[in-house]
Amino acid sequence: MNASERDELYQELILEHNKKPRNYRKIDNPSHAVEGYNPICGDHIYLYLKMDENKIIEDIAFEGSGCAISKSSASLLTMTLKGKTEQEARQLFAEFHDLLTGKMDLQKSGHHLGKLAVFSGIWQYPSRIKCASLAWHALESALKDGKKQVSTE
Amino acid sequence: MLDINKIKNDFPILKREIHGKPLVYLDNAATTLKPVSVVERIRQYYLMETSNIHRGVYYLSEQGTLAFEAVRKKIKDFIGAGDTSEIIFTKSATESINLVAHSFGRTYIKEGDEILITEMEHHSNIVPWQMLCQEIGCLIKVIPIDDEGSIRFDQYEEMLNPKVKLVSLLHVSNALGSINPVKKIIDSAHRLNIPVLIDGTQAVSNTHVNVRELDCDFYVFSGHKIFGPTGIGVLYGKASWLEAMPPFLGGGDMILSVTFEKTIYNHIPYKFEAGTPPIAEVIGLGSAIDYILSIGLPLITSHAEELALYGTQALQTVPGIRLIGTAANKRPIFSFVFEEIHPHDIGTLLDRQGIAVRTGHHCTQPVMHRYQVPATTRASFSIYNSKEDMDKLIQVLMSVKDRFK
């Protein structure tokens, strides 16, 4: 991978998840449900979680409309977090946040991002960071408050 | 015909490369680029002419006052006002509208009265009136637009009634490009003695405007959308209104005498210009008007008409593009949606090829609602843009489509 490819925001994985988002559905009787909204671009995401009594994410899904970045990010979030504990989800949010803000050295740090590393070039697109973080902010709010609406602004 | 290559030389930014590609600037409805002459004029003022105006008895202040007031005269001639006292400097077109809402609105609009605006208004011509409505209990009534993006004139005429105390609308829509039939609209309102405010922000750089021929009561525009600096706006108001209206902001320069018991306000236009005005910005705006006149407004208008026609036809032939705003009478402002691809993805990918466009709701959320889209991509053209820029835009859009297949 050369420098310009690494900088590329619209990688195949992102375009593919945009076209076929995973876990794109509603969950009946979720333990957590949050609406994430970015008023600047009108992106809307509804995130649903079903967490069991051991604080393990049994099921996670989303619905909504948005750009390729916000949609693929939400899709990858659900794939990554299914089966994880709440603690692990929080840890991943912190790592993903560092990745988006360009604070993470993927080579050096012992991160757990896996496929989420596809967003590594986004810090060069400041206006798009909120697109990638929308679903994650919704998740953070869900873990904190259970059910409500969260805005990026 | 405009000599576009010669004009391009006046704008050094057009020689820049963005992400290694020559800049194609298509966000002129947000702000226009600035020619060297405007920037040099501002530089000259700051480096060699700085002083405060209207007070000093020394040479620099006197010269500064003359330069500042010469621009007021220039604007008066540019928009065909009757007197320089009818030209008020504000910080933006938005502030100009707020001034009218605050001063005219609170004086002449009462509870239960109506203000007519159109469905295509910019937020700057919605929110100040809503604030007024909340305060005094007046009502906003919205003149609908048709699918092409033209005002439903028949419905407008039906909405006119004695409760309407103001009609306020865009001359040219920043989201749709539509040119509103402002003369007809003003004439109809005036038959019931209803005053009319026209927001000419997207019009004055490309359209002959004569406020006395139009007979509008207020006309507003901003400097930075006509090749001038940011931070300067203009409010034209008929002297009869301005004299009757109370001041907007209080402070220095807007007074004749002040005691702790009583203040006597200055004459118009100074009554509405409290504090040190944006002197450099006014002088820069004067230079921008000189620049427009040196190219020639009739030539600029023909260029805009040609681009509007060419762009409309070109975009409509691209499969998957839905052009929002197809009025017969329009300026080269093209809002569109492209298949299912989100405008922000389009905007980022165009940017990687050096093309600057605006994506989002363009401060016209009701327009987005009208056309049932969350956002659009908007390409807006100016004097340094050519048909080749439109061809380039379409060519890159095709490659964006390929990536999203």
Q: Are A41 and B403 a contacting pair at CB < 8 A? A: no
Taking phi over 0 as left and psi of -120 to 50 as alpha, with beta for the rest, B275 belongs to left
- Integer Cα distance of B311 and B313 in angstroms: 5
pLDDT classification of A2: cutoffs 50, 70, 90: very low
Whole-number mean pLDDT of chain B?
96
- Output the pLDDT for position B405: 82
Measured CA distances, B252 to B49, B85, B207, B240, B279 (Å) = 22, 18, 36, 23, 15
B79-103 pLDDT, tens per residue?
Answer: 999 999 999 999 999 999 999 999 9
Right CATH for A3-151 from 3.40.50.300, 3.90.1150.10, 3.40.50.720, 3.90.1010.10: 3.90.1010.10
pLDDT classification of A151: cutoffs 50, 70, 90: low
**Dihedral sign, Cα of residue A23, residue A27, residue A30, residue A35:** positive
- How many percent of chain B have pLDDT more than 90? 92
- Output the pLDDT for position A71: 95
Q: Which of B345, B361, B368 sits opposite A67 (nearest CB)?
A: B345
Nearest-Cα residue of chain A relative to residue B376? A41
Residue B48 DSSP label? I
Q: Are B361 and A125 a contacting pair at CB < 8 A? A: no
pLDDT classification of B374: cutoffs 50, 70, 90: confident
Q: What is the DSSP string of A63-121?
A: EEE--HHHHHHHHHHHHHHTT-BHHHHHHHHHHHHHHHTT---TTTS----GGGGGGGG
pLDDT classification of B321: cutoffs 50, 70, 90: very high
User: Is B15 a residue whose pLDDT tops 60?
Assistant: yes
pLDDT classification of A152: cutoffs 50, 70, 90: low
B275-297 pLDDT, tens per residue?
Answer: 999 999 999 999 999 999 999 99
Cβ-Cβ contacts under 8 Å, B374 against chain A: 41-43, 65
Residue found under tokens 């409805």: B29
Token pair for B248: 């907007």
- Output the pLDDT for position A148: 59
Contacts of B313 (CB under 8 A, 6+ apart): none
User: Is B71 a residue whose pLDDT tops 50?
Assistant: yes
pLDDT classification of A153: cutoffs 50, 70, 90: low
Strands (DSSP E) found in B125-195: 139-143, 164-170
Q: Which of B345, B348, B361 sits opposite A42 (nearest CB)?
A: B361
Contact B290, B226 (CB under 8 A): no
- Output the pLDDT for position A44: 87
- Output the pLDDT for position B299: 98
- Integer Cα distance of B231 and B27 in angstroms: 18
pLDDT classification of B360: cutoffs 50, 70, 90: confident
Question: From the CA of A8, how many Å to the nearest CA of chain B?
Answer: 10
Contact B210, B239 (CB under 8 A): no
Taking phi over 0 as left and psi of -120 to 50 as alpha, with beta for the rest, B71 belongs to alpha
Other residues' Cβ atoms within 10 Å of the Cβ of residue B191: 10
Q: Considering the domain B39-293 in this protein, what is its CATH number?
A: 3.40.640.10
In the residue annotation, B216 being an active-site residue is answered as: no
What's the whole-number mean pLDDT along residues B22-34?
A: 98
- Output the pLDDT for position B56: 86
Question: From the CA of A68, how many Å to the nearest CA of chain B?
Answer: 7
Residue A36 DSSP label? E
Q: Which of A10, A41, A66 sits opposite B349 (nearest CB)?
A: A10
Cβ-Cβ contacts under 8 Å, A125 against chain B: 348
Instruction: Give alpha helix (H) positions in B248-404.
Output: 279-295, 297-316, 343-351, 365-370, 387-403
What's the whole-number mean pLDDT along residues B34-42?
A: 98
- Output the pLDDT for position A145: 74
Amino acid in position A65: S
Taking phi over 0 as left and psi of -120 to 50 as alpha, with beta for the rest, B52 belongs to beta
Among candidate residues B133, B138, B216, B363, the one labeled active-site is B363
Cβ-Cβ contacts under 8 Å, A72 against chain B: none
pLDDT classification of A3: cutoffs 50, 70, 90: very low
Fold of the B4-30+297-403 domain: Aspartate Aminotransferase, domain 1 (3.90.1150)
Length of chain A: 153
Query: In B268-303, which positions are buried (b, 16+ CB within 10 angstroms) versus exposed (e)?
Result: bbbbbbbeebbbbbbbbbbbbbbbbeebebeebeeb
Question: From the CA of B360, how many Å to the nearest CA of chain A?
Answer: 6
What's the whole-number mean pLDDT along residues A44-70?
A: 94
B164-214 pLDDT, tens per residue?
Answer: 999 999 999 999 999 999 999 999 999 999 999 999 999 999 999 999 999
- Integer Cα distance of B115 and B139 in angstroms: 6
User: Is A106 a residue whose pLDDT tops 90?
Assistant: no
A107-147 pLDDT, tens per residue?
Answer: 877 888 999 999 998 988 888 999 999 999 999 998 887 65
- Integer Cα distance of B104 and B86 in angstroms: 15
Domain ranges of chain B: 4-30+297-403, 39-293
User: Is A93 a residue whose pLDDT tops 50?
Assistant: yes
ipTM of the complex: 0.85
Domain ranges of chain A: 3-151
- Integer Cα distance of B277 and B95 in angstroms: 13
- Integer Cα distance of B121 and B393 in angstroms: 27
Q: What is the DSSP string of B284-313?
A: HHHHHHHHHHHH-HHHHHHHHHHHHHHHHH
What's the whole-number mean pLDDT along residues B356-365?
A: 91
User: What Rg value do the Cα atoms of chain A yield, rounded?
Assistant: 15
Rounded to 10 degrees, the C-alpha dihedral B123/B129/B130/B133 comes to 180
Q: What is the DSSP string of B58-126?
A: SHHHHHHHHHHHHHHHHHHHHHT-S-GGGEEEES-HHHHHHHIIIIIIHHH--TT-EEEEETT--GGGT
Q: Is the peptide bond before B269 cis (omega within 30 degrees of 0)?
A: yes
User: Is B347 a residue whose pLDDT tops 90?
Assistant: yes
Q: Kindly state the helix (H) or strand (E) to which residue B188 belongs, with its residue range.
A: helix B182-191
B227-276 pLDDT, tens per residue?
Answer: 999 999 999 999 999 999 999 999 888 888 998 889 999 999 999 999 99
Token pair for B217: 């009561």
User: Is A1 a residue whose pLDDT tops 50?
Assistant: no
Chosen for mutation from A4, A7, A41, A44 (greatest number of chain B CBs closer than 10 Å) is: A41
